[in-house]
Amino acid sequence: MTWDSLLFRAQRGISLSVELEGKAVATIGQTLTSTRPARLRTMMRKEGALKLRGEVLLALDTLKKNPLRSALTILGIVIGITTVITVSAMINGLNDNVLAGIRELGSDTIIAYRFPWASLSRPPSEWFTRKELQPEWAEDMAKLPHVAAASPSLRIFMPQFGSGTADVRRGVYRAKNVILQGNSPSIGQIFDLKIEFGRMFNETDAEHRMPVVLLGYDTARILFPESPSDSIGKEVTINGQLFTVIGTAEKRKQGISGGSNPEDNIAMMPVTTLRKLYPNQKDYVIFAKAKDPNNVGEAVEEMRDLLRRKRRLPNNKPDDFALFTSDYFLDLWNKISGLIFILMFAVASVGLVVGGIGVMNIMLVSVTERTREIGVRKAIGAKRGNILSQFLIEAVTLSAVGGVIGVLFGSGLSLLMRYGLKMPAVLSFFWIATALIMCALIGIVFGVYPAWKAARLDPVEALRYE
């Protein structure tokens, strides 16, 4: 039996046993029949991959032929994607810093002030006519059932800039824009103040209004550059008065906007001492700590009742003060970051739409320039689907090139801000992937019409085109 007859029978699915010296060594037919679909699938996949690769290379070749036109076309996409990557990196960095600050504040910390610290709407004029809180009310708050500790706080600083206004001197050394803060000794129970050297002021210091001061991390190193540990017991000058340094604080976490934390350039003292130094400053904040984080709501209600009694508010009048916890700042930040994201998408969308229109324009020009080529391809058997896929892949490739360039520019800017300018910027792979997907969608959406127009060309008319 010849090999041709063997193959003929095998192709018909006829099983044929081959014997050698009386023993069956192979069965032809079923094996060939079972392997044919797998081989066909493999060949089809390879053919499809080669076809896609060829069309992508053809698209890139088209871009190379008109570099200036292609560059101007994808400029909008580059700007839009760069904006998405850069702004998302900035928001991620700010988000990490804000959440770290909120965690540092503590979930069981309660703040009382005459009006909210921040608002997205225009503050009513009534807020600024409210009377200040009295520092002695903190002692009554500390006695409430669900409150562990309370402390009045007075700050001398510029809230709009987050920096201080005072100068602290020691000989030839001078620390500028220092925040002056007065608290009661119980502030150490409310916040996790970490002392690097020395001690915190105590009840005796507060009772006798002693001129003692706890310096922040940066302030101590400016005034005592040779050795901050030697600052204990030394004297510094604040507003012309001598203060004895009793301690220095450890370095705080990075500021919200990156760089050094303004809270490291601070001088803390008993609130009674600061009140003697600034007798006309009476805008107090009261910090309190709940005994149990699960009972913060009860502690807030107890403080609200106490403040309403102290301010003699009737039942039919709303609060003329504000109580807020870390949840208030978290909700506020979520709203702010949401608005920033909306603004980012608005700016990026303009660039992406302009880029998409540019892609459509260059593809329509390409269809016109290659009319005869399309006619030749159709004349030798190319189907509408082949023409459609070719021009659609070209449009996607064009927008993808813009997307990749935008991702590279955006990533470069984000890294420059983080490591060069020390600004909070954290690259997000999620937004990088989203940006690339958006580019592919732009190529598809704005490339469909030119591809459809090319696919519907009449081959006879296309061949006549001059």
pTM for the model: 0.69
Q: What is the pLDDT of residue 21?
A: 42
Bridge-based pairing of strands 23-28 and 16-20 is antiparallel
3-state secondary structure 224-279: CCCCHHHHCCCEEEECCEEEEEEEEECCCCCCCCCCCCHHHCEEEEEHHHHHHHCC
Q: Per-domain residue ranges for the chain?
A: 3-40, 66-98+334-464, 108-324
Helix (H) or strand (E) holding 364: helix 326-369
Q: What is the pLDDT of residue 49?
A: 60
Q: What is the pLDDT of residue 5?
A: 47
Q: What is the pLDDT of residue 44?
A: 55
Bridge-based pairing of strands 266-270 and 212-215 is antiparallel
Q: What are the residues facing 16 on neighbouring strands? A: 28
Bridge-based pairing of strands 147-158 and 109-113 is unpaired
**Residue 129 has what DSSP assignment?**
G
Provide the 3-class DSSP secondary structure of residue 48.
Answer: helix
Q: What is the pLDDT of residue 345?
A: 78
Q: What is the pLDDT of residue 46?
A: 56
Q: What is the pLDDT of residue 37?
A: 59
What is the residue-level pLDDT of the chain in tens, covering all 466 positions? 444 444 444 444 444 444 434 444 444 444 444 455 556 556 555 555 666 676 677 767 767 777 777 777 788 888 888 888 888 888 888 888 788 777 777 788 999 998 887 666 777 777 888 889 999 999 999 999 999 999 999 999 887 666 788 899 998 999 999 999 999 999 988 887 889 999 999 999 999 999 999 999 999 999 999 888 889 999 999 988 999 999 999 988 765 555 678 889 999 999 999 999 998 888 899 999 999 888 898 999 999 999 999 999 888 888 888 998 888 888 888 888 888 888 877 877 887 888 888 888 888 888 888 888 888 888 888 788 888 888 888 888 888 888 999 999 999 999 898 888 777 788 888 888 888 888 888 888 988 998 898 888 887 777 777 6
Residue 14 CA to residue 28 CA, distance in Å, equals 8
Q: What is the pLDDT of residue 285?
A: 94
And the tokens for 315?
């039942």
Residues making up the chain, counted from first to last: 466
C-alpha pair distances (Å), 144 with each of 51, 136, 302, 308: 77, 14, 7, 14
For 145, residues 6+ apart whose C-beta sits below 8 A from its C-beta are: 298, 302
| Residue indicated by tokens 């604080």 | 249
And the tokens for 60?
């890139």
Helix (H) or strand (E) holding 155: strand 147-158
- In the chain, % helix, strand, coil (3-state, to 5) comes to 55, 20, 25
Q: What is the pLDDT of residue 258?
A: 55
And the tokens for 147?
């409150």
Q: What is the pLDDT of residue 30?
A: 45
**Buried/exposed code over 40-70 (b: 16+ C-beta within 10 A; e: otherwise):** eeeeeeeeeeeeeeebeeebeebbeeeeeeb
Residue 356 backbone dihedrals phi, psi, to 5 degrees: -65, -40
Full DSSP string of 273-306: HHHHH-TT---BEEEEEESSGGGHHHHHHHHHHH
